[in-house]
Structure 1
Amino acid sequence: MTTRQVLVVDDEIGIRELLRDILQDEGYQVQLAENAAEAREYRQHTRPDVVLLDIWMPDCDGITLLKEWGTGGMLTMPVVMMSGHGTIDTAVEATRIGAFDFLEKPIALQKLLKTVNAALKHSEQLPRSDMSLLNLGKSVVINELRQRLEQVMMSKAPLLLIGEKGSGAELCAKFLHQANTPWMELLESQRLADAPLDVLEQLREGVLFIPEVADLDKTQQKGLLVLLAKAEKYGTRVVCGTSKPLPDLVTEGMFDNGLLQTLSVSTLRIPSLADHREDIPDLARALAFLLVETTASPYREFETAALNMLRNADWPGNLSQLDSVIRNLMQSSLGEKITLDDVHRVMEQFSPLQSALMEPASKEGSGLPIDFDLPLREARDEFERLYFEYHIQKSEKNMTRVAEAVELERTHLYRKLKQLGIKTK
């Protein structure tokens, strides 16, 4: 069994060493910090199983450090506060913020061991850190997003989150989720068509998150409408995400107009990573820290030049792409720090894919024969023209099979082909 780690934070050397000797005799691995700065540095790199934290320290008091860990998503281990000048009010304040227990100095041996043992049992039940909206950044656009989410938090009305893929819709949905209530990310969309009320029954007073509402087929969209009509009765909050232009899909007959109107009552746009580049250095550190928490991999600091390159890079995949790059850097870098060369090495591994996405390909060359310098509407028409021509050729001009393959009604398919100037005969 892995030796349990206890972090002791106290500015008095005698108390630190006494607690270390007692706990080591009990078989614990003990780390010492004489102030909040050392404790903060240690926590950045490692998740101890329990922390003994003195309240009165010269550089930063323990209550402030406890609050800092709590708001930063780092309070994922039990913290036992210690004080020689403790009061009932201080103990209550500490436990309100998130402390597991409170020990008054001088600490009796049996009381110490009993409290540490109880804290360790509690530690086994605590979830490890996870990405949250707090990690997404401190920029103006992210702060505004957080404020808007706080405004709609008390409502049970459905919410539509609009943003590029990978920009953090799930984090926004989880921000609205209350602790100790049901949560579901709907990955089996057919449940909406088969038994929408069963989903509500499972999620009473909870949150249902649908990552991409535009991917639902017609029967699933109708099932979602039924679910939305009954959601308030069950106290269920429905949050839908989309990266696609739903009004255009309504025009094309691919999305139910009634469903769009229902979802449009409350909408929020999620900024892409390009809209808050200033948050990328902090995001990189947060993602690295979460990897340490969840996989016990060693933490690596980022050189300033490496963070600057990450901030200035293009991220068409947004947060999801940044997460993949950080994981790659943490697992494949050889030094104690992640350098500019490390970032170059990882980013260049994906450069052919980036080039294929970003550079226009000629009709004679490989890749999509679309000029990406065209206005959006013209580029979309060009893509749709190629798309339908491909399916017409594949089906040997059997329009019934084409309609089935592209999931359009025959009348709408012919109207679309006429609009694009495609002849079927």
Structure 2
Amino acid sequence: MNKINILAVDDEPDIGRLLQEILEDEGYAVMVAESGAAARRLRAERKPDLILLDIWMPNEDGITLLKEWLRDDPLCPVIMMSGHATVETAVEATRLGAYDFLEKPLSMAKLLVTVERALENAKLKRENIGLKRRAEAPIEPVGKSAAMERLRDQIRRLAQHDAPVLLVGEPGSGKETLARYLHANSPRRDGPFVDVGVGTIAPAYSAVEFFGRVDGLDEIQHGLLEQAHGGTLFLSEVADMEEETQIRLMGALESGSFSRVGGSELLHVNVRVVASTRKPLEEEVRAGRFRRELYYLLNVVTLKVPPLAEHSEDVPELLNFYVDYFVSREKLPFRKFPVPVQNFLRHYPWPGNIRELKNLVQRLLILGSGEEVELEEVKAALGESLAGPVSPSQPDFYDLPLKDARERFEKAYLEYHLEKYAGSVARLSQAIGLERTHLYRKLNSLGIKFKDKR
């Protein structure tokens, strides 16, 4: 088990040594800094679990550091120390977010109790955030069909092991929901679940995205691997990953360690990797588009996620689930899908799978009226999907290189949908199934001024 890291910041060397000796005897790993600059460097190199911070130091006071560090990581408890502080200073420190205040000369018994309570308080906060995150997401995959029962059973059994899992299925078939369900049933359930749309990460930025960055002594950016430490890293649609990104990620996953860009310390992470793909990775490997070594790392256990058309008996339950979901989450008016409409939708081919069904329910609740959904309005909402594919004229970007063509398409696609949803990035994220953080990054990389469309 990794030791808890404590950073002790005090300009008096004797106090720093005393804190180090006492806390290391209790089993903690302790770093000592005698100035604000040294403290920043140590904090950037090794993220502490708790900080003991002197208020009065040469060149820089502890209150300034407290404000800075709590902005960066509000979950890391900071205990202030001072030998000649006023009551007002102690009150100000706790008002700003310090966990507690210790007077010098330090009582070692009070120090140890305060440290223990601060760490327990931080643990409870992280657990509450994890519980809130799980409560906000529809974790359990919906459906009583044999296919879904079998899939849930496989996921529950796999959740007890740390082997990488590869989820293979069509877009919109529920791969992310299954990844979250696996995480929620695993021993890592109280750790973070970090969702990464790897296809949206440009190769030039992949090292910073995955490993983080240190800029001098003041700024630190925690990468995706570090954010997922102790939890699950979900790599969505890995077949879209650029080769340079594949190489960097492969090295980190093989060794379980990396250094931040601009940093020198080797960081070790403990993450469970779950990946998804809509494309058969074996074919991508044979075509030279996906590295064989990374394929073997990710493909320890493969689960096939069936398209909705293969378990269409679950359609009525999914309809009811998403009606309740939008009524409770978005306060949309309740509407019932009568049996004839349910039967019609059971026989619809669902090319967009569960995501298409979810979007259909949302659209009918927003735009429809009346207590029951009518069959004709369902047909009108499905529109072109019922009419079958139309042969379009050849787009002008067909003659461009693949990378340029993809960027042209993505820009046009996102601009169209952003206009459709009146500039709301939140609604756009939900409609196209791309996590909001990755969507902001994609909009910026394509030069789409989404704020101007609000």
Instruction: Give the shorter-chain TM-score range.
Output: 0.5 to 0.7
Deviation at 1:134, TM superposition (A): 2.9
The reply to whether residue 156 of structure 1 matches residue 162 of structure 2 is yes
Other structure's SS at 1:166 match: coil
Deviation at 1:131, TM superposition (A): 5.4
Per-residue CA deviation, residues 390-422 of structure 1 (Å, 9 max, x unaligned), is: 43xx5xxxxxxx587589xxxxxxxxxxxxxxx
Q: 2:389 aligns with which of 330, 339, 355?
A: 355
Q: 1:194 aligns with which of 208, 232, 243?
A: 208
Call closer, same or farther: CA 1:127–1:235 in 2, change over 3 Å.
closer
Does the CA contact (< 8 Å) of 1:291 and 1:297 recur in 2?
yes
Per-residue CA deviation, residues 259-281 of structure 1 (Å, 9 max, x unaligned), is: 11222211111111011000001
Aligned residue in 1 for 2:148: 142
The 5 A counterparts of 1:110-129 are none
Does the CA contact (< 8 Å) of 1:162 and 1:243 recur in 2?
yes
The reply to whether residue 181 of structure 1 matches residue 216 of structure 2 is no
Does the CA contact (< 8 Å) of 1:161 and 1:240 recur in 2?
yes
Aligned residue in 2 for 1:331: 366
Other structure's SS at 1:321 match: helix
The reply to whether residue 315 of structure 1 matches residue 350 of structure 2 is yes
Aligned residue in 2 for 1:245: 280
Does the CA contact (< 8 Å) of 2:236 and 2:276 recur in 1?
yes
In structure 1, how many angstroms separate the alpha carbons of the residues matched to 2:405 and 2:384?
A: 34
Deviation at 1:240, TM superposition (A): 0.8
Deviation at 1:251, TM superposition (A): 1.9
Call closer, same or farther: CA 1:404–1:288 in 2, change over 3 Å.
closer
- Which amino acid in 2 is paired with 1:213? V
Other structure's SS at 1:267 match: strand
Per-residue CA deviation, residues 141-174 of structure 1 (Å, 9 max, x unaligned), is: 1111111111110222221100000000100110
Other structure's SS at 1:193 match: helix
Does the CA contact (< 8 Å) of 1:208 and 1:239 recur in 2?
yes
Call closer, same or farther: CA 1:207–1:231 in 2, change over 3 Å.
farther
The reply to whether residue 226 of structure 1 matches residue 251 of structure 2 is yes
Does the CA contact (< 8 Å) of 1:159 and 1:263 recur in 2?
yes
Call closer, same or farther: CA 1:333–1:311 in 2, change over 3 Å.
same
Any gaps of 5 or more consecutive residues in structure 2? Answer: 1-127, 212-222, 258-267, 407-454
In structure 2, how many angstroms separate the alpha carbons of the residues matched to 1:368 and 1:171?
A: 36
Per-residue CA deviation, residues 292-345 of structure 1 (Å, 9 max, x unaligned), is: 111111211111111111111111110111111111111122111112222122
Does the CA contact (< 8 Å) of 2:140 and 2:178 recur in 1?
no
Does the CA contact (< 8 Å) of 1:160 and 1:264 recur in 2?
yes
In structure 2, how many angstroms separate the alpha carbons of the residues matched to 1:140 and 1:304?
A: 22
Per-residue CA deviation, residues 46-78 of structure 1 (Å, 9 max, x unaligned), is: xxxxxxxxxxxxxxxxxxxxxxxxxxxxxxxxx
In structure 1, how many angstroms separate the alpha carbons of the residues matched to 2:145 and 2:402?
A: 46
Call closer, same or farther: CA 1:247–1:320 in 2, change over 3 Å.
same
Aligned residue in 1 for 2:237: 212
Call closer, same or farther: CA 1:202–1:216 in 2, change over 3 Å.
same
Deviation at 1:127, TM superposition (A): 6.5
In structure 2, how many angstroms separate the alpha carbons of the residues matched to 1:346 and 1:165?
A: 20
Aligned residue in 1 for 2:298: 263
Other structure's SS at 2:183 match: coil
Call closer, same or farther: CA 1:404–1:347 in 2, change over 3 Å.
closer
In structure 1, how many angstroms separate the alpha carbons of the residues matched to 2:230 and 2:300?
A: 20
In structure 2, how many angstroms separate the alpha carbons of the residues matched to 1:273 and 1:314?
A: 8
Aligned residue in 2 for 1:5: none
In structure 2, how many angstroms separate the alpha carbons of the residues matched to 1:307 and 1:251?
A: 43
In structure 2, how many angstroms separate the alpha carbons of the residues matched to 1:403 and 1:340?
A: 41
- Which amino acid in 2 is paired with 1:320? R
In structure 1, how many angstroms separate the alpha carbons of the residues matched to 2:402 and 2:334?
A: 53
Aligned residue in 2 for 1:13: none
In structure 1, how many angstroms separate the alpha carbons of the residues matched to 2:383 and 2:135?
A: 30
Call closer, same or farther: CA 1:403–1:338 in 2, change over 3 Å.
closer
Q: Which 10-residue stretch deviates more, 126-135 or 242-251?
A: 126-135
In the superposition, the TM-score normalised over structure 2's length comes to: 0.50
Q: Which 10-residue stretch deviates more, 130-139 or 265-274?
A: 130-139
Percent identical pairs in the alignment equals: 31
Aligned residue in 2 for 1:340: 375
Does the CA contact (< 8 Å) of 1:196 and 1:227 recur in 2?
no
Other structure's SS at 1:134 match: coil
Q: 1:300 aligns with which of 331, 335, 354?
A: 335
Any gaps of 5 or more consecutive residues in structure 1? Answer: 1-121, 370-385, 395-401, 408-425
Call closer, same or farther: CA 1:338–1:195 in 2, change over 3 Å.
closer
Call closer, same or farther: CA 1:231–1:171 in 2, change over 3 Å.
farther
Deviation at 1:132, TM superposition (A): 3.2
- Which amino acid in 2 is paired with 1:186? V
Deviation at 1:255, TM superposition (A): 0.8
In structure 2, how many angstroms separate the alpha carbons of the residues matched to 1:368 and 1:182?
A: 45
In structure 1, how many angstroms separate the alpha carbons of the residues matched to 2:394 and 2:405?
A: 19
Instruction: Count residues with an aligned counterpart.
Output: 248
In structure 1, how many angstroms separate the alpha carbons of the residues matched to 2:328 and 2:141?
A: 14
Does the CA contact (< 8 Å) of 1:325 and 1:346 recur in 2?
yes
Other structure's SS at 2:340 match: helix
- Which amino acid in 1 is paired with 2:312? R
Deviation at 1:194, TM superposition (A): 3.3
